[in-house]
Structure 1
Amino acid sequence: MSLSAALSLRREAEALAAPLPPLLVAAEHLAAAVQIGGHGRRRAGAGDEFWQFRAAAAGDTARSIDWRRSARSDAQYVREREWQAAQSVHLWVDGAASMQFSGAPSRVPKAAQAQLLALALAVLMVRAGERVGLLAPPLPPRPGRAQLLQLAALLAAPGAVAGDYGAPGATGIAAHARAVFLSDFLGDTGPVEAALAAAAGRGVRGVLMQVLDPDEEAFPYDGRVIFESMGGTLRHETRQAGDLRARYLERLAARRALLGGLARAAGWQFGTSHTGQPAALALLWLYAALERGR
């Protein structure tokens, strides 16, 4: 390899690696700020660590009885061990144009918030011994810090999904795994419903997290305003924006009710967050919701 080629390769590598440390460091700091305690995976099953004694029941074999514990009482007891099988968690972070919206220079775009939450959640999952991956671009679930580096690289890579709004899919989600979809969910809800139905059919549980900008929740506009989608495909001009506020808020509430209903029907959790809130609050809820969905 020539010197010029080597230098060019180094510049490309440095450019590729540049976004990794800030995103991963921010995600790890966010994960560290969330005091989870026990990670919620303690339950009976195959494993090496003692979990609890329970009274023997019909169907328990004589081999499963802990005779030393049983000798101290008139009942027979079974020694249960902690469930230790690692679970697969699939993440989908909407990269469509609408996710680049920010209503104020002091706030990050929705995409940045969603990427940070996804990677911080992955940090918590990996610490708990789980396998984490991405649905798009596809990255099979794996454990370990090396996987976190790949996740950070893919999440920080430039290039939005074509179109104003993104749509999740269930292709690639392992049966009985868990999944998290992070999006503003402002586009067509048909693909969301289809993805949830397909996931539920394979025993997949998960979480829908709607990420919005505070302006999208409060609609603080008045007077003459030109509304244009981030992709430039939609445009609406009005001289009385304030007159639209009530109808907008009604439609937003109806959209959230619909998403919540779709999630419940599939056995999933639905939550909302906006970029004006501390990300730690959203991460804490997201982690707890994912555990409740087991």
Structure 2
Amino acid sequence: MTQPLTLRSQAETLAAPLPPLLAEAEHLATTVLLGDHGRRRAGTGDTFWQYRPAQMHDEARSIDWRRSARSDANFVQDKEWQIAQSVILWVDQAASMAFTSDDRFPSKAQRARTLGLACAILLIRGGERVGLTGLRLPPRRGAAQLMQMAQLLSQDDTADYGAPEAQGMLPHSRALFISDFLGDITAVEDALLRAADRGVGGALLQILDPQEEAFPFDGRTIFESMSGGLRHETRKAGDLKSRYLDRLAARKDRLQYLARTTGWQFQTHHTSDSATQALLWLYGAMEHHQ
């Protein structure tokens, strides 16, 4: 028979990779003071939103007689719309996301995973169902869902660059894609077009290291992908700067265009910047599409 101490040791070993990501995401979520999660849309629910004049179709039992007694008209209470919606999350876990140019900054992967999970925490606390794309984790609520999400987001992909998945996006739901978006742009285009066909709104958050914006290289330089699969050596790295920056600007413009034409929102975030501000933007973007 397995002793309780052994079981506890095994459980702690299995759970060891999970608490840091979940704890960091929880800490980030608590720094965002959002108040109650209300949609300010009339519908079913228990939370009072506003009084409005009674109309012909309103039943007599829906009239607020106490409020109506203070005026010559009858009033009814509108309740906030509280039907939980589904939000599907894709966080790029490919090798390119492991990059960081400075120990003072988190890797792109660490920032992306923390922001994605923190946003999921806020949404679930607000009554939403959150899951992962690719049918890996269907949208649900609760602490167990967050634990599973943390476990799946802690895994790494060996591919050089990630590609968003359109599978699992329910019609008229919302979606959030977090990546450096430096890989094949056609994969992003396909995912957004599929999402638009299903009436899915959402947001793209591009995460970049400051060095990827500045390109501070000169002279003999060896460029190598994080997986080691791609390698380029040059003796005049400075000559590549203008072309690189032009291509990066073109990629951002393309992502902005794709977001605009499909009704999504787009933002670029740098790992040297405040994670709190990025989370505020993410949450606002999700609220915008409800």
**Counterpart of 2:233?**
237
**Counterpart of 1:176?**
172
Deviations 1:156-179 (A, max 9, x none): 23x31x421111111111111111
2:224 counterpart of 1:217: no
2:164 counterpart of 1:165: no
Q: How does 1:1-294 map to 2 (within 5 A)?
A: 13-56=11-54, 60-62=57-59, 66=63, 68=65, 69-70=67-68, 72-136=70-134, 138-157=136-155, 159-160=156-157, 162-294=158-290
| Matched residue SS, 1:265 | helix
Deviations 1:171-199 (A, max 9, x none): 11111111101110001111111111111
**Cα offset for 1:76?**
4.9
**Cα offset for 1:240?**
1.8
> Structure 1 CA distance, aligned partners of 2:234 and 2:202?
40
> Structure 1 CA distance, aligned partners of 2:286 and 2:208?
20
> Structure 2 CA distance, aligned partners of 1:264 and 1:45?
29
Letter in 1 for 2:287: E
Query: After alignment, is 250-259 or 227-236 more displaced?
Result: 227-236
Query: After alignment, is 72-81 or 109-118 more displaced?
Result: 72-81
Count how many residue pairs are aligned between Structure 1 and Structure 2: 288
TM-score normalized with structure 1 length = 0.89
Change (3 A) 1:53 1:10: closer
**Cα offset for 1:200?**
1.3
Return 5+ residue gaps in structure 1 as ranges: none
**Cα offset for 1:63?**
5.0
Q: Would you say the 8 A contact 1:137–1:154 is kept in 2?
A: no
> Structure 2 CA distance, aligned partners of 1:55 and 1:234?
67
Change (3 A) 1:64 1:183: farther
Deviations 1:1-31 (A, max 9, x none): 678xx96x87664333101111111111100
> Structure 2 CA distance, aligned partners of 1:193 and 1:166?
13
Query: After alignment, is 190-199 or 245-254 more displaced?
Result: 245-254
Letter in 2 for 1:19: P
Percent of aligned positions that are identical: 59
| Matched residue SS, 1:22 | helix
Change (3 A) 1:37 1:234: same
| Matched residue SS, 2:285 | helix
Runs of 4+ in 1 over 3 A off after TM superposition: 9-15, 59-65, 69-78
